[in-house]
Amino acid sequence: MTTATTDGAGATAPLPALERYEAVIGIEVHCQLKTASKMFCSCSTDYDGAPPNSHVCPVCLGLPGALPTINRRAVEHVLATGVAIDATTPAATRWDRKNYFYPDLPKGYQISQYDLPLASAGRLAFETSVGTVSIGITRAHLEEDTAKLIHATADDGQKVSLVDFNRSGAPLMEIVTDPDVRSAEQARRYAEELQLLLRAIGVSDADMERGQMRVEANVSLRARGTEPFGTRVEVKNMNSFRSVERAIAFEIERQAAALDGGETLTQDTRGWDENRGATYVMRSKEDSHDYRYFPEPDLPPLRVDASWLDEIRAGLPELPAARRTRYATEFGLSAYDAAVLVAEPRATMLFEGVRAAAPSTDAKVAANWVTGAFFGLLKTDPEAAARVDAGQLADLLARVATGELSGTNAKEVFAAHASSGDSVAAIVESRGLRQISNVDALGRVVDEVIAANPQAVADYRAGKPVLGFFVGQVMKATRGQANAALVQTAVRERLDGSAGS
C-alpha cells in the first residue's frame, strides 16, 4: 500500500519508498507544563519576554549546596495526562540523574525519570486519511528543562554564545510513543491530537511556535515483511506540524534511497532545515547508557496513592475524542463539523454556551455560525471574537429561526455585537433590523415595485427569469428587512395574476 503525505494546501504527495519499505517511527514530545513556579524551586515560570537571567535562584542555577523541592502541581499534570491516555501509574516512582555536559545544563546533569516514570503503557487514538489509528505510549515522565542558548554577534564582530537561565528548571513532561507510527501523516496527526488533549485537560498551552511543545521523531526503515528494526535516526528542530510531516517524509525517502544504493545507515541525530526541505547531520545519536542514569540522591521516592489518582480523574474535563463522539451521536453533527469544533477550545466553549443558553437551538445551525462567522473573527480580530457572548449568539439564532431577523441582517447584528459587546436586542432595536413578515405590509411594497417596473413585468410574462430582480428591489426598498420567502411568494402571485395585479 502506498502511503501519502499532505502538503500545506492539503494536496497529497506519494511516498514511493513505502511500497518497498515499512517505516517504523517513534515520537518523543517535550511539553512545558502550566505551573506558576519551576520544577524544583520557587522561581516564577512567567519569564516570557523577561530580561535574561532575571528568573533564577541557586537551585535552577545548579549552585553547590542548593537542594531541590518537588513541584506538586507539575506532578499532578503528568498524572492527569496519564489518566487521559489510559496509562498505568506505579504506587511509587523515583527521580534519576541524566548525566551529560552541555552549556545549557548548569549542573552537568538533568533531574529526570528513567525506569519508573509517572505514567506508562498508555494509548492515543486519532483519525487519519485511512481511518482510525491507535498509537501505544511507552511513558510520560517529568523532568526539568534546560537553559536557552543564544547565538549572537558581539560589537566587535565576534560570534558569541550566551546562556539565558530563565528557562532552566521549568517543569517539562516527556511523552514517548511505542514504535507504532507508520507514516509521516500518522506522525503529524498524533502530534496534533496530543496537543489538543494537553490543552483540553489544562496541563499545557503546548504552543509549538513558542517552544512549549517540541516534537522529535525516531525514524527507521525495514523491508516489508521483515521483523527486525532498521537503523534509527532521530530528527529534531521540527517547529510546526507541517514540519513534522515534511521532515519525516523526507527522512523516509532519504533512508530508502541510501538502502537501495547499498549504503550503511548510521545512528545519527539530524536536524530539519525548513528552507531547504531536508534533514542534516547534527551529531551521533546517544543511547540511554551514554547518560549514565542513577537515582537522584537529593529527592525521596514519590508515592502515588489511589485516592490521589481518583481525585485527579474526577477533575478531568470531557476529553476531545469523547466530545467528538458526543457531538456526532447527541447532536447529529458530521464527523468533520465535530472535529472542527473540538479542535479549537474557544469554539468549543462558544458552542457549548449556546446549547446551554438555549437547548432548543438547532445544533447544526449553531455549529455553522461558530465555524463560520466566529472562526472568521478569530483569524481577523481575536479581540472582537473574545467579546462574542454565547447567550447573545443564542438570542441571535432564535430571532433568525422565528423569522424576526433575515440571514443578512443577522450577520450585521453579529458583527456589531462582536465589535461593541452590545446586546443583540439593543442592536436590532437601534438599527431597526426586525424582519418584516407582515403579509399586508409586504404586499404594499411589492405592488409599488411592480408598478414602477412595467418592462420587467413584460419580461417576466415573456418567460424571462426576472423574479429575482423584483425580490431584490423589494429587499432594497425595505433595507433588507423583508422576509425574502414571503416576498418571492407575493411577487409570483401578483405577476401570475392570482392576486389580481
pLDDT per position in the chain (501 positions), as tens? 334 445 444 444 546 777 889 999 999 999 999 999 999 999 999 999 899 999 999 999 999 999 999 999 999 999 999 999 999 999 999 999 999 888 899 999 999 999 999 999 999 999 998 899 999 999 999 999 999 999 888 888 899 999 999 999 999 999 999 999 999 999 999 999 999 999 999 999 999 999 899 999 999 999 998 989 999 999 999 999 999 999 999 999 999 999 999 999 999 999 999 999 999 999 876 666 677 899 999 999 999 999 999 999 999 999 999 999 999 999 999 999 999 999 999 999 999 999 999 999 999 999 999 999 999 999 999 999 999 999 999 999 998 888 788 888 899 999 999 999 999 999 988 887 766 666 777 788 888 888 899 898 888 888 888 888 988 888 888 777 777 778 788 888 888 874 344
Q: Which three cell numbers stand for residue 472?
A: 431584490
* Dist CA 138 CA 114 (whole Å): 12
Task: Output the average pLDDT for the chain.
Answer: 90
3-state secondary structure string, 191-216?
A: HHHHHHHHHHCCCCCCCCCCCCEEEE
pLDDT tens string 7-46:
444 444 546 777 889 999 999 999 999 999 999 999 999 9
**Cα separations in angstroms, 57 against 53, 143, 165, 362:** 9, 18, 10, 56
Q: Look-up: residue for cell 538502502? A: 259
Question: At what angle are helices 184-200 and 241-260 packed, to 10 degrees?
Answer: 150
Contact 20, 223 (CB under 8 A): yes
- Sequence-ordered list of residues with C-beta below 8 angstroms from that of 439, at least 6 positions apart, any chain: 486, 490
- Sequence-ordered list of residues with C-beta below 8 angstroms from that of 129, at least 6 positions apart, any chain: 4, 6, 185
Pairing outcome for strands 119-128 and 109-112? unpaired
3-state secondary structure string, 138-179?
A: EEEEEEECCCEEEEEECCCCCEEEEEECCCCCCEEEEEEECC
Q: Is 2 exposed, middle or buried (0-12, 13-18, 19+ CB in 10 A)?
A: exposed
CA 125-128-132 angle, 5° bins = 45
Q: Look-up: residue for cell 433595507? A: 479
Q: Is 101 exposed, middle or buried (0-12, 13-18, 19+ CB in 10 A)?
A: exposed
Q: Which three cell numbers stand for residue 5?
A: 503525505
* Dist CA 101 CA 448 (whole Å): 87
CA dihedral 422, 426, 427, 429 (to 10 degrees): -170
pLDDT for res 435: 61
Which amino acid is located at 86 in the chain?
Answer: D
Provide φ and ψ at 159, rounded to 5°.
-75, 130
* Dist CA 321 CA 338 (whole Å): 10
Strands annotated E in 376-476:
none
Q: Which three cell numbers stand for residue 429?
A: 432595536
Q: Is 192 exposed, middle or buried (0-12, 13-18, 19+ CB in 10 A)?
A: middle
3-state secondary structure of 17: helix
Q: Which three cell numbers stand for residue 14?
A: 506519494
Contact 13, 7 (CB under 8 A): yes
pLDDT for res 288: 62
* Dist CA 189 CA 339 (whole Å): 13
According to DSSP, residue 263 is labeled P
